[in-house]
Chain A
Amino acid sequence: MKNNVLIAGAGPAGLEASAALQRLGYNVILIERSETIGGHLARWDRLFPDGESASAALDSLIEGIWGVKCFTDTEITSANRLGKSFNVILSNGIIVHADAVLMTTGFDLFEASKKEEYGYGIYDHVITNADLEAFFRNGSDPRINNPSRIGFVHCVGSRDEKAGCRSCSKVCCATAVKQACEMRQAFPNSQVYCFYMDLRLFGRHYEDMYLSAQRDYGVRFIRGRVAEVSENLDGSLMIKAEDTVASAPLKVSLDLLVLMAGMRPSVSGARIGSLLGLQSEDDGYFRVMDGILDAQRSTVPGLFLAGAATGPKTLPETLADARAAAVEIDKYLSVTFPEAKDFKQLMRKGW
């Protein structure tokens, strides 16, 4: 008999874990609350540091889940423990007897309008990183009208106690540098400014991307936070910031301001987590058994976690976390349900 594994969230982590568990011989049920799969990756255009196509990466992930039972527009409505397993009722009426549950509920983008001083939703030419990716994908946005002066604000909803977001979102600095270069490609005559607190670029090739942004694209990096944004009579934006390197206040007019909205714990993920009895930490992300040695196990037996559900991660980290979770689930099920072991070995011999 195959073990059932329920995976909540069909973003990159959910897709990758589904493919891995399917190949390990489990009966995988993947559910996604929205109408389409792929999570935030489905709305992104290109990926840092090398500019690979996001849609090509997603297509590759989707190819891997062939045979997985995937339900979109579906949520968990209730869940309770049944022996060593979980009895989970889905919003489409299906009841799943899951021997393990993997939470890959991802993250929400910080709601940029909460930083009222930046004027998102108030001023015509203030957009977010997600809006800019949509522009790169679709090629049009009425707010982006051949801008000649463009600003990026790092850490919008990250490392900001006032906004209730203490943690670093990890990906925004690299995304900002990538997007700054892309804007210079799209608008070669433009001048691009990045307003940052610290640049947290740490991965392989990231430094090359940062140096290229300065050397090849002439992006100006200004170490200081933006204090306020206003609108000029001609619709352009007036930005007040502090240049902490020059020890001087700064005022600049821009045609476009891009807010690097950070990662926040998923609200819908938290709802499911409460149904399943998962614990969260102060930052809102789910608590894991051990952050170093057991980072894919929750504190509830049979409940596993992967991807940004346990904190901000880059895409490669998310995929690696998903694969690790698949291995942990396999280990758990082999011990907890030894009677299923022979069937799995039979399956794997057939590969």
Chain B
Amino acid sequence: MIYEGKQKIWSEYQKEIPDDHYFYVRSCIRQSFFPASEATFLEITRNRLGKDIFETEHHTTCGGIAYHSDAIPQETAMTIIARQFGLMHKYGYENYVCSCITSFGLYCETLETWRQFPELAAKIADILWKTCKLEFAKPRFIVHASDLIYHYRNEIAAMARHRLVNVHTGEPLKVVEHIGCHYSKMFPSKGVGGAEYPYVLAGMIEAWGGQVVDYPERRHCCGFGFRQYFIKANRGYSLSNTYKKFESMEPYHPDMIITNCPGCPYFMDRWQYVIAEETGKTYGENGHGIPVFTYEEVAGLVLGYDPWDLGLQTHQIGPEPVLDKMGIKYDPSRKYLGLKGKDLGMPVCPGCIK
């Protein structure tokens, strides 16, 4: 591997990321999968970094989940998106940050479609005004929330309480970075580092002391892939994708996985249980799986937040091996306590994987 070659590509794919003043939109599914991630993003950016990140309860889905499932046509998704942008404009913002990778890809696709077919943009603007009385607007800058954390990675590193380093050996943690397919595979120039060797998560890992694992199936889909999962008969495809990735990364003995997509951490986390149940195989140490995190969760751990406040108890694969390696103190008895100490109940833990 020629690291300088990657650096050259990274230098060619650096997008402009404004430092402040963003209109924030959430993902449809992340609050169910990893409920504290978006709250952590807002906590870090607003309260630790002092940034102006605005959100409104009036925003909706971008429509991507239906669009990519062939349930709605592109014009419908574009109208929903035009409404989101219209809200951004109404509240006086021109920088748009979204939590979801699929949304990010769809926003890029929509803006490019409007650029190439202005008559379509005009039609959508007309529909938007008739249905919502909102003014049609396009964001000046559109970024994914992981772009923003990447942008702030060195500030976060400067405030770090913990690093991605094994405190017992002094060695950097070996971290697999998994990028959502819709981040830059469709529009390489819209992603930090491009499509083939994205740097958005690798940059965080490097800044926070870890070592990036580049394994053969790095680019492969996590297994979500919408119709692969939503259509029940196709779920074998979904599982086989995930299995392929874990078989490929296994020889590198990764300590953890970081992702930037709503679906990827969910499927890479949950399917490890199914693989263990079906084959008896686990990919971590001593019967553990490989812990899978969102980038907000990792930023939160680096900054010293309590793992259970970050929602790590909602993961299938227990995060404890990584917490122990990073030297993070945690109270096991608090693991299944929710807000204000509410008892969430002890889940039934499978015997095939920890």
Binding site for B on A (CB under 8 A): 113, 116-117, 119, 121-124, 228, 230-233, 238
Query: Total A-B pairs in contact (CB under 8 Å)?
Result: 40
Interface of B is mostly: loop
- Say whether B197 faces chain A, with CB atoms less than 8 Å apart: yes
- Residue contact A231 to B214, C-beta cutoff 8 Å: yes
A233 with B251, Cβ < 8 A, contacts A122-B1, A122-B6, A228-B219 known: yes
- Residue contact A230 to B216, C-beta cutoff 8 Å: yes
- Residue contact B194 to A123, C-beta cutoff 8 Å: no
Find the A residue at minimum CB distance from B9: A116
- Quote the shortest CB–CB distance from A264 to chain B (angstroms): 18
Find the A residue at minimum CB distance from B4: A121
- Say whether B195 faces chain A, with CB atoms less than 8 Å apart: yes
A108–B74 Cα distance when bound, in Å, is: 42
- Residue contact A116 to B194, C-beta cutoff 8 Å: yes
Give the residue among B2, B215, B216, B217 with the most A Cβ atoms within 10 A: B216
- Residue contact B194 to A232, C-beta cutoff 8 Å: no
Would you mind naming 10 contact pairs between A and B with Cβ atoms under 8 Å apart?
Answer: A119-B5, A119-B196, A122-B6, A123-B1, A124-B1, A230-B214, A230-B216, A230-B219, A231-B216, A238-B216
A113 with B5, Cβ < 8 A, contacts A122-B197, A233-B251, A233-B252 known: yes
Residues of chain A with a CB closer than 8 A to B218's CB: 230
Residues of chain B with a CB closer than 8 A to A231's CB: 1, 214, 216
- Say whether B8 faces chain A, with CB atoms less than 8 Å apart: yes
Residues of chain B with a CB closer than 8 A to A233's CB: 215, 251-252
Give the residue among A121, A122, A124 with the most B Cβ atoms within 10 A: A122
- Residue contact A123 to B219, C-beta cutoff 8 Å: no
A119–B217 Cα distance when bound, in Å, is: 14
- Residue contact A117 to B196, C-beta cutoff 8 Å: yes
- Quote the shortest CB–CB distance from A193 to chain B (angstroms): 18
Considering only residues 153-208 of chain B, those with a C-beta below 8 Å from chain A are 194-197
A232 with B8, Cβ < 8 A, contacts A122-B2, A122-B197, A123-B1 known: no
A121 with B195, Cβ < 8 A, contacts A228-B219, A231-B216, A238-B216 known: no
Considering only residues 211-250 of chain B, those with a C-beta below 8 Å from chain A are 214-219
- Quote the shortest CB–CB distance from B6 to chain A (angstroms): 6
**What class of interface size applies to chain B in its complex with A?**
10 to 19
Residues of chain A with a CB closer than 8 A to B252's CB: 233
A228–B251 Cα distance when bound, in Å, is: 20
Find the A residue at minimum CB distance from B196: A116
- Residue contact A121 to B219, C-beta cutoff 8 Å: no
A17–B217 Cα distance when bound, in Å, is: 52
A140–B218 Cα distance when bound, in Å, is: 32
A116 with B195, Cβ < 8 A, contacts A121-B8, A230-B216 known: yes
A123 with B2, Cβ < 8 A, contacts A116-B197, A233-B251 known: yes
A228–B217 Cα distance when bound, in Å, is: 10
Find the B residue at minimum CB distance from A238: B216
A291–B176 Cα distance when bound, in Å, is: 55
Find the B residue at minimum CB distance from A232: B216
A122 with B216, Cβ < 8 A, contacts A116-B194, A116-B196, A117-B196 known: no
Residues of chain A with a CB closer than 8 A to B6's CB: 122
A283–B302 Cα distance when bound, in Å, is: 52
Residues of chain B with a CB closer than 8 A to A230's CB: 214-219
A228–B215 Cα distance when bound, in Å, is: 13
7 closest A-B pairs (Cβ-Cβ)? A121-B5, A230-B216, A116-B196, A122-B5, A238-B216, A233-B251, A117-B196
A122–B219 Cα distance when bound, in Å, is: 15
A123–B215 Cα distance when bound, in Å, is: 12
- Quote the shortest CB–CB distance from A241 to chain B (angstroms): 14
- Residue contact B2 to A124, C-beta cutoff 8 Å: yes
Residues of chain A with a CB closer than 8 A to B217's CB: 230
- Quote the shortest CB–CB distance from B200 to chain A (angstroms): 16
Residues of chain A with a CB closer than 8 A to B214's CB: 230-231
A233–B6 Cα distance when bound, in Å, is: 17
Residues of chain B with a CB closer than 8 A to A117's CB: 196
- Quote the shortest CB–CB distance from A231 to chain B (angstroms): 6
Residues of chain A with a CB closer than 8 A to B195's CB: 116
Supplied contacts A122-B1, A122-B5, A122-B9, 20 more A-B pairs, CB within 8 Å:
A113-B5, A113-B8, A113-B9, A116-B195, A116-B196, A119-B5, A122-B6, A123-B1, A124-B2, A228-B219, A230-B215, A230-B216, A230-B217, A230-B218, A230-B219, A231-B214, A232-B216, A233-B215, A233-B251, A238-B216
Residues of chain A with a CB closer than 8 A to B219's CB: 228, 230
Give the residue among A116, A121, A231 with the most B Cβ atoms within 10 A: A116
A122–B193 Cα distance when bound, in Å, is: 14
Considering only residues 1-23 of chain B, those with a C-beta below 8 Å from chain A are 1-2, 5-6, 8-9
- Quote the shortest CB–CB distance from B181 to chain A (angstroms): 13
- Quote the shortest CB–CB distance from A250 to chain B (angstroms): 14
Find the B residue at minimum CB distance from A123: B1
- Quote the shortest CB–CB distance from B297 to chain A (angstroms): 27
Residues of chain B with a CB closer than 8 A to A113's CB: 5, 8-9
A122–B3 Cα distance when bound, in Å, is: 7
- Quote the shortest CB–CB distance from B97 to chain A (angstroms): 27
A117–B185 Cα distance when bound, in Å, is: 11
A117–B6 Cα distance when bound, in Å, is: 12
A218–B295 Cα distance when bound, in Å, is: 50
Residues of chain A with a CB closer than 8 A to B8's CB: 113, 121
Residues of chain B with a CB closer than 8 A to A121's CB: 2, 5, 8
